[in-house]
Amino acid sequence: MEGNTFIDLFAGCGGLSLGLHQAGFKCIFMNEIDPKCCDTYLKNMPLKNYFLGDIKELNKQLKQYATLFTNVDLVCGGPPCQGFSTANRQRLLNDPRNTLYKEYLKFLAFTKPKIFILENVKGIKNKVSEINEDISKIVGKEYKVSYRILEASDFGVPQHRERFIMIGSRLKVNPDEIFTNLCNNKYPHFTLYDAISDLPKLQPKTIKNDTTIENDQIGYRSIQYNYKDTPFRRFINGNTNTNLLLNHKNRYNNNRDIEIFRRLPQGCNSLHDSIADIMPYKSRNTIFKDKYYKLEYNKICKTITSHMRYDCNMYIHPTDARGLSPREAARVQTFPDHFEFTGPQNYWYHQIGNAVPVKMAEAIGKEILKCL
């Protein structure tokens, strides 16, 4: 099989896959359980071989993929681990909440890739010794394993986002060397202003329960647009380009929230005096101090999360009385402008928030590729 190949498990809408593709890898197979995420993935990265469904069902059918999976270079994935808390004394492998983690290891044991990537929340570092034991027991003792907590902004991503990245290798190269080289490389630094200021301004949307409305004020799912040439656009788009503006569309907010968005200064939250007279939840200010937060143009963005599908009150645009649009959130995650998110509008946020930042994935992929 030509090129360096990889398999993406728990692929989501494809942030990790896209970054690895940009680094020079070729995806030969992916697995995702969510049909909407799978639709977005395949629209942007058409793939002949994939499995839509639970990885537990995929693992029951691995023999039929034996030829395809032979001699694969890289397997990557971020299995949800619900039971990694240090307060939980039950082992990761035995915790019934961590069945997907166990299935991920089973997949590695069958495919025996040259290198694998395990991506997760940073808190799972507390269970590293268990993970190493489980890998040795289930996948094989031939893998040398190392991990780091990587900060996305160190790789040009205009966002504070810490992720646990573990690399396992059965080649001569030590994963520690991969991480050392990765962290010694120089990457550009971008602020939120760099990432989104060239996109059209949007007005608040005040009409409820109608997602079909599109206009110059609240935005569009897709519209022709003449982009400015900026360093950030060159960074995320590389040699690709588009004259379409995709997924840049505002969501509904009530009049009280719009007024809060308007009054709050950049960098301020629910406790600010400017909104004291209209702030809800006053009796629970200590709990809801970040219920509202206005982002700052001259800094990197706070962590983009899938909660944005419910509201963007913690992601208020620095100068417009609204939350970030899905395209702006995608820019913060370093998705290229031609990448289109499918499905219902609020679900765009869910896909974006759960994704691995594309340029961070690309940086990791480039270092791994050097070993292959």
Q: What is the pLDDT of residues 167-196, one digit of tens each?
A: 999 999 999 999 999 999 999 999 999 999
Query: Which positions of the chain have pLDDT values less than 50?
Result: 1
Write down the pLDDT at residue 20. Answer: 98
Q: How close are the terminal C-alpha atoms of the chain, in Å?
A: 14
In a 13 Å sphere around the CA of 120, the CA atoms on its Cβ side amount to 22
Query: For the chain, what are the domain ranges?
Result: 4-189+358-371, 192-354
Write down the pLDDT at residue 105. Answer: 96
Active site residue 27: no
Catalytic residue among 13, 38, 81, 371: 81
Q: Say yes or no: do domains 4-189+358-371 and 192-354 share a fold.
A: no
Alpha-carbon dihedral angle through residues 27, 29, 30, 35, given to the nearest 10 degrees: 120
Instruction: Write the pLDDT tens digit of every residue in 83-134.
Output: 666 556 677 887 777 889 999 999 999 999 999 999 999 989 988 999 999 9
Write down the pLDDT at residue 288. Answer: 59
Each residue of 257-267: b (16+ CB within 10 Å) or e? bbebbebbebe
Give me the amino acid identity at 139. Answer: V
Write down the pLDDT at residue 209. Answer: 84
Write down the pLDDT at residue 88. Answer: 63
Q: Which of 15, 62, 276 is nearest to 161 (CA)?
A: 15
Q: Is 293 helix (H, G, I), strand (E, B) or coil?
A: strand
Write down the pLDDT at residue 282. Answer: 63
Q: Indicate the fold that domain 192-354 takes in CATH.
A: DNA Methylase; Chain A, domain 2 (3.90.120)
Euclidean distance between CA atoms 108 and 47, whole angstroms: 21
Write down the pLDDT at residue 196. Answer: 98
Euclidean distance between CA atoms 154 and 227, whole angstroms: 26
Q: Classify the C-alpha dihedral 356-289-125-31 as positive or negative.
A: negative
Write down the pLDDT at residue 210. Answer: 85
* Superfamily for domain range 4-189+358-371: Vaccinia Virus protein VP39 (3.40.50.150)
